[in-house]
Amino acid sequence: MKIIVAIKQVPVRDSVLQVDASGKWIRESELSFEVNEPDAYALEEALQLKERYGGEVIALCAGPARVSQAIREALAKGADRAIHVESDDLGAADSLGIARLLASAIRSEQPDLVLTGLQSDDLGYGQTGVIMAELLGFPHSTIIMQVEAAGSSVRVKRELENGWFQWMELPLPAVLTIQSGISKLRYATLMGIKKARTKEVKRLSAAELGGLAAPVLSVEKVYLPQKTKETQMLDGTPAEAAAALVEKLRFEARVL
């Protein structure tokens, strides 16, 4: 099974953000970057599928020279090789433009499965994977919690609302967007880091893949949110109030 995993490099989650001079994006020159967390889970799922069914995992990343750090991390964790779509202009691109570049890089590989994270930590549109599937003409499914190969098809478990799940089967090749937290992320071993230095990284320019089209979606303004204080009263028994507090700290304050 040949699996391509699209990964994105995003600012470190606890970075101090400042708006740039244009007022349309953040100042990136002083930031540190890391692999987008949902994409890290997509990579982990691809590596587990390879361990169960065999095959090859290819990391695909678009961006400037700094994304080579994300590519090296993917290779150190177990990806067999990588594709770097080189472009310094992705800041002005929208989901459609990025998806077109990635789809162009994917076509020549003829993969069985393409995995992406559910969404990016910086923009959070959740669109690139499904647009890419449409451009490739592949069936797709989103918010995936579990993947099982079944011959010429794949059986997946989707997360729905209110604690419900859905099992469905898709023919291969297919595109899946992976939900965060479905498994425990692995660390790169010392041996993996050493092996990563010898693995192939194919570099393609955006021009070779047709270039970036004019965006159909543009950001007009970004700004730092106003800081306000608010008191919330948690009702119920002590156990219920504690559970509600933990949920708010985890999903709203994001400190757990």
Omega before residue 173 within 30° of 0, cis: yes
User: Which residues, in sequence order, are CB contacts of 34 under 8 Å at separation 6+?
Assistant: 9, 10, 11, 12, 13, 70
Task: For residues 229-252, give the mean pLDDT.
Answer: 88
Whether residue 79 is predicted with pLDDT greater than 90 in this model: the reply is yes
List residues bridging with 10 in a β-sheet: 34
Here the contacts of 118-121 (C-beta below 8 Å, separation 24 or greater) are 118/38, 118/142, 118/143, 118/177, 118/178, 118/179, 118/180, 119/38, 119/177, 120/8, 120/10, 120/36, 120/38, 120/39, 121/10, 121/13, 121/36, 121/37, 121/38
At residue 240, does pLDDT exceed 80? yes
Task: Tell me the Cα Rg of the chain.
Answer: 19
Would you kindly state where each structural domain of the chain is located, as residue ranges? 2-224, 226-256
User: In whole angstroms, what is the distance from residue 128 CA to residue 87 CA?
Assistant: 17
- Residue 63's pLDDT is 92
Can you give the pLDDT at residue 256? 75
Q: What percent of the chain has pLDDT over 90?
A: 68
Please give the mean pLDDT across all residues of the chain: 91
Tell me the pLDDT tens digit for each residue of 137-186. 999 999 999 999 988 999 999 999 888 999 999 999 999 999 998 899 99
pTM score: 0.83
Fold of 2-224: Rossmann fold (3.40.50)
pLDDT at 127: 92
Averaged pLDDT for residues 65-79: 96
With contact defined as beta carbons under 8 Å apart, do 115 and 130 qualify?
A: no
Q: What is the pLDDT of residue 170?
A: 95
**Does the pLDDT at position 214 exceed 80?**
yes
Give the residue, 228 or 100, on which the prediction is more confident.
100
> Residue 35: what pLDDT?
94
